[in-house]
Structure 1
Amino acid sequence: MTTTLHIKNMVCPRCIMVVENELKALGAEVQAVKLGYAEVTLPEAITLHIVDNKLKEFGFELLYDADSILAEEAKTAVLAYLKHLEQEGKNAKKLSDFVSSEIGKNYNYLSKVFSKQTAHTLEKYYILLRVEKVKELLDYDQLNVSEIALQLGYSSVHYLSNQFKRITGLSISDYKKRLRINRGFLDDL
């Protein structure tokens, strides 16, 4: 019987690859793996507890309750929004509209559930992800700050700089000088 596993902390294509490989190593028949979930058929000898323990070795974990699953879906939608923002720029939908349409639930409801399940509001989580993306783009050193601001939909370089300093405690130039040691992990947000 096919089971949908809801999985916490999947934030990138490498996460999908690791989860898929580990599920296959356990003997699961994998139908699909996407950010936040996997559809599998497990051998009778493999329990959800065994799967959970294996995934925890790599920083993932199974989610069981509806609110935790919804909060993880919201995280995935916010990650997708960042990509949408990069592609659409100033023509991008608002965060609330995008997340609501991705999940098919009212944004206010999602926001309440998300805040209850995590240490952040959806907006704060989005800001933290956006600043991590700014750090990533600064690390690549292929775009200047104006280009980064434009790519990530900031209204101005000044607004990007202020938000960056408020979140990191460093100005962008100080960040560059400190050899970019303050990069975080997306699954820690």
Structure 2
Amino acid sequence: MVPPAMFDRSPSPPIVKIPGHFGDIMSNRETTLTMPDGFTGIERIMLTGNGNLQRLISAYFNKTVSVEILKNIQVPRTADEDPAVIVHFQREVNLLCSNKIVCNAKSRILIKDQSVYDLVVNKGVGIGQIFRYLDRLPSFELHNLGRTEKTFWREYSLSIPEVDCRLLEVLPSSMFDDNWLLEDPEDIVWEIEA
């Protein structure tokens, strides 16, 4: 399946593949993760979070982080898409802390199960809450990461047999500076160029 254009980008520096499971939660005795140079410790923590970025940012700032939905639309399936896909959503949200954007996230969600479709479309379960609602740990795969002049970003997927999500999250590089939440918002370009 060809990913949407919003996920077309040049390769980032090589990274050691992160296991497709929540190794930090269920590892035997050791966990090792090596990433490219050029990221601070807190940035590496954010880049490797297993679908829990909102909680990590909330813990860092010790404040509430809310979700602002910018786009949540059902899009037509493409001819080359997996025939198991029942519905395809594109979504864009901002994570806000103290009314500042701490992350812009774009996602593609493919639902392959009628009961999950009913949860989302008929029962109003948010796409971002599917895994929690189903009480399922998705596999996590970090596909790409990088930085621009004012941001750092990651592209990853979360999957269970019934649902595939591919996400692109962009965060301000300066967000971990002292008093960043109190400063005026920066002029940030949230689009990542290929």
TM-score where L is the length of structure 2: 0.19
**Structure with more helix by fraction:** 1
Greater gyration radius: 1
**Structure with more strand by fraction:** 2
Q: Which has the higher contact order (CA 8 A, sep 6+)?
A: 2
